[in-house]
Amino acid sequence: MKKYTFIAAAMLPLILSCKMENPLLTESKLPFGAPQFDKIRNEHYMPAFEQGIAEAKAEIDAIANNPEAPSFENTIEAMEYSGETLDRVSSIFYNLMEADVNEQMQQIAEEVAPMLNDYSMYVSLNEKLFERVKAVYEQRDSLALEKDQLKLLENTYRSFTRNGANLQGEDREKYSRISEELSLTTLAFQKNLLAATNAYVLNITDSTKLDGLPAYVVDAAAESAAEKGLEGWAFTLDYPSYSPFMKYCNDRELRRQMYMAYGSRAVGGEYSNCENVSKIIDLRIQSAQLLGYRTYADYALEVRMAKDAGTVNKFLADLMNPSLPYARADVKMVEDFARKNGFEGDRLMGWDFSYWSEKLQKAEYDLSEELLKPYFKLENCIDAVFDLAHRLYGINFKVREDIPGYHKDVKVYEVTDEDGSHLALFYADFFPRPSKRGGAWMTEFRGQSIKDGVERRPFISIVTNFSKPTASTPSLITHYEFTTFLHEFGHALHGMLAEGRYGSLTGTSVARDFVELPSQIMENWGYEPEYLNTFAKHYQSGESIPMELIDKIVASKNYLSGYSQVRQLQFGLLDMAWHSLESLPQTDPVSFEKAALKPYEVMPGVAETAISPGFSHIFAGGYAAGYYSYKWAEVLEADAFSLFQEKGIFNTEVSHSFRENILSRGGSEDAAVLYRNFRGHDPEPEALMKKLGLSSK
């Protein structure tokens, strides 16, 4: 069920008078009704939110006050199709809050948050509306509903109960206050993290301090400094700057400074998120307990494949316990190598690990990111990813210069099916900027749906932070970044290939621990020689990547896999530790985190650093009590990809089955059923352990 707000109906005439001037409210004349990004300005957002809220409230009122007896069509389906304007405005605004934000938008978000919360409460606590939903739900066995209709009915009823419909009196008011405060605090967390990330710059003016850094890193840092009006070279906490600096800079003290700056983002100072972390956890506990759950994890997991915290904790433990010895052996291996090659510190620290593990990888496999990067020119990688989608699913991509993006760096593509029919618009936004948060993600400006017999195809976007081209070098990405591209593109395929009637059940609208299957399975092709040798060419000579390099990529696939596995499991365990609390701990967030992770430590801890104040996935994203889902989905994809390995990595019988049973189905059926329909059985965690080389079986 949608969570929005409403504004007084008396304002509707005033808002309507502005409608013709607002590109968020006027019908787009662009192809496929694409968003009018070239016309949208900050001043358009608030009137558009107000208009969308007013329309949505009027539609909800019409449903709740309908004199006809409640039916699936006049209640459940009517709710599904309500709030169209608000959906459109929210999708555009909140996606740009992540990808191209400014201070005015952040202020608007703070003003809009209580409005949206008010409307959410207006819907979820609407007794007349809930009575109608409940009446239809109680008749469900006699309504002869199709599978997707029954799923929509069940989801709608459950959404009401999970959003306070059964609360009474003061509890209702308290739940509403908590929801509003939680929304605002989440925004504050996100704002602080972005500000803390942007606030740090390591400005180097002595060229001798650049020793060890590849030319492409130095060139990018010089351009960054020029953009900031600084002398010399500027290194930031954005991934394309931070990651290679930590891997290649020979100056240990500078690496320590960068590591500390990254690890202490929002831990203290002007942009501290520690208070926000405590507040978010406290509010989530209160909210869950008001609804009758013991913990927030109990509340969140009820609607996921795992179903409960016990299953998740056992799942994480079953992976962590056998992985820890491998992780500790990985760290010892890197430390032993470092000592043999000049390292004289007491212990290998966090600011040493990337540096020495990169050198060990080069020594063991004669392989490094610097060696591989020239073969992964971004333009070639884009073509290769599109070609893979064509070979697997028959779809094609064409640049549309006539459709604007929301930033000059954004390219827009039309996606067509094998028969030439339109499937989607695809927005690609690859490069970092101060207005964009770190990381990589997929999202949508419009999902797929069918209303009144008319299908609306989706507008899908992926956003990354790859290295920008310089005056002398095109954008070259690491092999890791290429697999990240494949990952996010897998999410995009889930959105682009969606089929169904109801937007809340199509595309990526699935259980949180199922949504990563389509993305993580795509990463496998990044290690397949049969695929890599089709596109990886040196950006200067044009020569194909030597087979010996491909062999090394494959051979090094599980390099430090124990360490990497434990690192991800630590994130999942920290998430569960926070969200399994029944009351707020007396300790500060940093102390709580360190105690929670102590049993799983494989590197020396650093007192001044912490994960939680920068853990946007669980404190400002949708992964609260859900970070385990990355590993959960890895188990699914390890088992699923084994079928491609058995039949052929470009086998269209398998890929078409994956499209039909997984990608196109969205959340129209239970995720476990969809997976069994594709694979024929339930997956086992052992599939992942074998894939990572961490199994003795």
The answer on 381 and 357 residing in a single domain is no
Phi and psi, residue 176, nearest 5°: -65, -45
pLDDT of 1 higher than 50: no
Q: Which H or E element spans position 449? A: strand 449-451
Q: What is the largest CA-CA distance in the chain?
A: 82
Residue 228 DSSP label: T
- The answer to whether residue 635 sits within a structural domain is no
What mean pLDDT do residues 286-304 have?
A: 96
Whole-angstrom distance, CA of residue 237 vs CA of residue 256: 13
Contact partners, residue 660, CB within 8 Å, separation at least 6: none
Judge whether 285 lies within some domain: yes
* Residue of 429, 419, 430, 427 whose CA lies nearest to 400: 427
State pLDDT tens for residues 312-356. Answer: 999 999 999 999 999 999 999 999 999 999 999 889 999 999 999
412, 500: one domain:
yes
Q: Could you tell me which residues come within 8 angstroms of residue 1 by beta carbon, excluding any fewer than 6 positions away?
A: 79, 123, 124, 155, 156, 159, 160, 163
In a domain, 434, yes or no: yes
Nearest residue to 92 (alpha-carbon basis) of 50, 42, 141? 42
Beta bridge partners of 204: 233
**Res. 437: pLDDT tops 80:** yes
In 3D, which of 390, 392, 388 has the Cα closest to residue 655? Answer: 392
State residue 687's pLDDT score.
Answer: 83
Q: Is 488 a catalytic residue?
A: yes
Q: Are residues 128 and 208 in the same domain?
A: no
pLDDT for res 561: 96
The DSSP element (H or E) to which 653 belongs, if any, is helix 652-658
CB-CB contact of 211 with 250 (8 Å): yes
* One domain for residues 216 and 133: no
Whether residue 31 lies inside any domain: the answer is yes
pLDDT at 9 exceeding the cut of 70: no
Tell me which of 80, 181, 335, 488 is the catalytic residue: 488
Question: Same structural domain for residues 249 and 123?
Answer: no
Across the range 503-511, mean pLDDT stands at 96
**Domain with 429 in it:** 374-544
**Same domain flag for 304 and 442:** no
Q: Three-state SS for 647? A: helix
* Domain finish residue from 264, 281, 314: 264
**pLDDT per residue as tens digits for the range 166-198:** 999 999 999 999 999 999 999 999 999 999 999
Same domain, 312 and 223: no
Mean of per-residue pLDDT scores for the chain = 94
- This prediction has a pTM of 0.84
The number of residues making up the chain comes to 697
In total, how many domains does the chain have? 4
CATH number at 296 reads 1.10.1370.10
If asked whether residues 405 and 532 sit together in one domain, one would say: yes
Which DSSP helix (H) or strand (E) runs through 328? helix 309-340
Q: Which of 544, 577, 595 is the last residue of a domain?
A: 544
In a domain? residue 465: yes
Tell me the C-alpha distance between 432 and 585, whole Å: 37
pLDDT at 92 over 60: yes
Reported as a pLDDT band with limits 50, 70 and 90, residue 20 is low
Mean pLDDT for the stretch of residues 657-670: 96
- Alpha helices by DSSP H, listed for 125-238, are 127-138, 147-162, 169-199, 215-227
Q: Are residue 604 and residue 489 in the same domain, yes or no?
A: no
Asked whether residue 670 is assigned to any structural domain, the reply reads no
Residue 663 covered by a domain = no
The answer to the question of residue 284 being in a domain is yes
Mean pLDDT of 656-663: 98
β-pair type (233-235, 396-399): unpaired
Whether residues 204 and 157 share a domain: the answer is no
Specify whether 384 is located in the same domain as 530. Answer: yes
pLDDT in tens, 465-500: 998 998 889 999 999 999 999 999 999 999 999 999
Of 242, 264, 286, the residue at which a domain comes to its end is 264
pLDDT confidence band for 6 (50 / 70 / 90)? very low
**Residues 332, 379: one domain?**
no
Per the DSSP assignment, residues forming a β-bridge with 427 are 412, 461
CATH at 436: 1.10.1370.40
Residues 239-274 have pLDDT tens digits of 889 999 999 999 999 999 999 999 999 999 999 999
Judged against a pLDDT cut of 80, whether residue 661 lies above it is answered with yes
